[in-house]
Amino acid sequence: MGQRVHADVLQVRATRTAPGVFRFDVTISSPDTGWKEYANAFRVKTLDNQVLGTRILYHPHVNEQPFTRSLTGVKIPPEVRQVVVDAR
């Protein structure tokens, strides 16, 4: 897997697909340089950093910036009112 690079989450769209279950469409911009250095994942987390879901990015996106990828089946407990999405 590639090394971590600084990646920015530009946009997040959350869609409820079932009670308590969501799909996240996440647009990311990162300075991918190739296989040795690229954004390799994004995570959906609670405000206290509990990871609810992770989307692994298996390859660099050197010529596709920014890019959007989806993560489905994210279960969010009813008491959670906000989440954070980060990319790495």
Q: What is the pLDDT of residues 48-68, one digit of tens each?
A: 999 999 999 877 666 777 989
pLDDT for 67: 87
Q: Bridge-partner residues for 28, per DSSP?
A: 9, 67
Contact between 85 and 47 under an 8 Å Cβ cutoff? The reply is: no
**Residue 35 reports pLDDT greater than 70:** yes
pLDDT for 32: 61
pLDDT interval class at 34 (50, 70, 90) = low
Per-residue tokens: 38: 């690229």
pLDDT for 61: 66
Pick the more confident residue, 40 or 9. Answer: 9
Contact between 59 and 53 under an 8 Å Cβ cutoff? The reply is: no
Angle 48-76-79 (CA atoms, 0-180°, nearest 5)? 65
Mean pLDDT of the chain: 88
Angle 23-8-16 (CA atoms, 0-180°, nearest 5)? 10
**CA gap 35, 29 in Å, rounded:** 16
